[in-house]
Amino acid sequence: PCNTVALPYTENFDSYTTSTTAATGIQVPCWSFIPTGTATYQTGSYVPQIYYSSTYAHSGSYSYRLYGAGYHTLPPMPTSLDSLELTFWDYTSSANYALEVGVMEGTTFVPVQTITTPTSTHMEHTVYFGTYTGTSRIIAFRNYYSTSSTIYYSYHYIDNIDVHYLPSCPRVLDVHSTSASTTSIDIDWLDQTAATQWQIEYGAVGHTIDSGTFLTVSAHPYTVTGLTQLTSYDFYVRPVCSVGDTGAWSFKATLSTAMCDNATEFYTGDGTSTNNQGPVNNYYKHTLTQTIIDSSELAGIGDITYIAYSYNYATASTKKTSVNIWLQPTNLTEFANTDAVALNPTTAIKVYHGALNCSQGWNYFPLDTTYTWDGHSNLLVIVQDNSGNYDGSAYVFNTTATTDYKYLIYYRDGTAGVDTISAYNPSTFTATTKYRYQRRPTMKLISCGSACQAPVVASISNDYESATITASGNGLSFELEYGTSLVDLGNTVTSAT
């Protein structure tokens, strides 16, 4: 019902000084929304509104809160959308709160770009409409809950809207790493133009742009060399479209080198949801956690030399000073009840003893003992905390949702030295509280082996006088050893290709 707006179109919502819970919400002139889902989530506080909070607003104290699921539309633009781009800032409080930007064609939403914003972080996004071929001039946000179609709400706080004509040399998007070694990072990005040359700037995390190291390259992906092992760097990229026409710098991408060359990593999830239960509990003193990893998830990993956890708390924690970690093969695919699995003295390997103190982001811990996975069993990661420290609200870790009960936790608020977990049989630990969860800590197991990794045994079948082994690996040929049960490795060897 509104006239078109002039370009550039900007809105920071700071000219509004009230928010509302009325059914219609307070709408910016010519903004509108189309709700989806049940009526329960489309009335009262669930409608979009101007929201007062300097925490959620990127600038000032007001932002536009998308709450109930649905489509949220801007005023009509004065020209075709394929000549425009949108920039805005987003803040969200959960990885399950999802957001897309696209175009409304009548009541049909046409997605253009999925927005990914780290939890509790302000992030600027650019949406390029140059690929849109339709005739609509209505830009829209789609707000939804990512893991359940029956939950009809999702919080996003958007701010500093700016719709403008595409520059002659648009900035690149999605700067990311395709791989890394101990001294190099392979960097790539998404182009919005036909540029044949790009500038890369990189430097220490938090460095001021234009103060880092500069490279000019004519192809990508590009390998940036001469870096320091297990170190994070901030990267920026901009296109050079022609002489005198250089695009703006990309948004910052923080990328890291590896702890070893030829690294193979298994990780248990995306590291976005937060929870304070593990791998070491933050509210109670003596903690035992057990995590199941399926064998299919470990395909290709060699000898395990590092374990890593994703910590998500601004203040570093230094209280987990006495932690034991075991790795143990298991045939469990999930925890059927809340009973812990006993440590098996024959197969459990104590791979780490020491501090598990963490700072924001991924934290890597070298194993005291290299662990050789057998290639076919599921794996149990057992973490025992004997620090005896009460951490209050600290020690928040990222977790990942699972469909099975793959995570078990025991804890007891007792006295150090009294509630000690038996070194070889944690299932006898008398826990005040014990839980199983359909989630597990976001973690990595890293193999720092050679480029020639151990093969993965997929299956073994046999009849009365033969056995068939199905395996995969990157070798040109393979050696097979067999012998009577419990034969020592190296005593009976048969080569096979």
Q: What is the DSSP string of 438-486?
A: SEEE-EEEEE---SSPPPEEEEEEE-SS-EEEEEE-S-SSEEE---STT
For residues 365 and 352, give the distance between their C-alpha atoms in angstroms, rounded to a whole number.
8
Residue 217's pLDDT is what?
A: 96
pLDDT of residue 391: 60
Quote the radius of gyration of the chain (alpha carbons, Å).
Answer: 27
Q: Which residue has the tokens 């707006």?
A: 5
Find, among 73, 69, 64, the residue nearest to 106 by Cα: 73
**Helix, strand, coil percent values for the chain (each to nearest 5):** 5, 45, 50
Residue 15 to residue 127: CA distance in whole angstroms: 25
- Say if residues 29 and 75 touch (Cβ distance below 8 Å): yes
- Cβ neighbors of 424 (< 8 A, separation 6 or more) are 342, 343, 345, 348
Local structure of 55: helix, strand or coil: coil
User: Cβ neighbours of residue 201 under 8 Å, at least 6 residues apart?
Assistant: 209, 210, 212, 213, 214, 215, 235, 236, 237, 249
User: For 276-321, where are the E strands, in sequence order?
Assistant: 286-293, 304-311
Chain centre distance of CA 356: 21
| CB-based burial label for 187 (10 Å; 0-12, 13-18, 19+) | buried
Instruction: Specify the pTM.
Output: 0.60
Tell which residue, 236, 227, 299, has the closest CA to residue 445: 299
Question: Residues 35, 42: contact at Cβ < 8 Å?
Answer: yes
- The 8-class DSSP code of residue 268 comes to S
Q: What is the mean pLDDT of each run of 10 residues along the chain (497 residues)?
A: 87 78 63 76 72 91 89 93 94 89 94 88 90 94 86 90 91 87 92 89 91 95 93 93 90 85 70 73 73 87 87 79 92 91 90 89 89 91 81 71 88 52 57 83 82 70 87 77 64 46
Q: What is the pLDDT of residue 282?
A: 60
What pLDDT is recorded for position 392? 56
> Between the CA atoms of 133, 139, 145 and 150, what dihedral angle is there, to the nearest 10 degrees?
-80
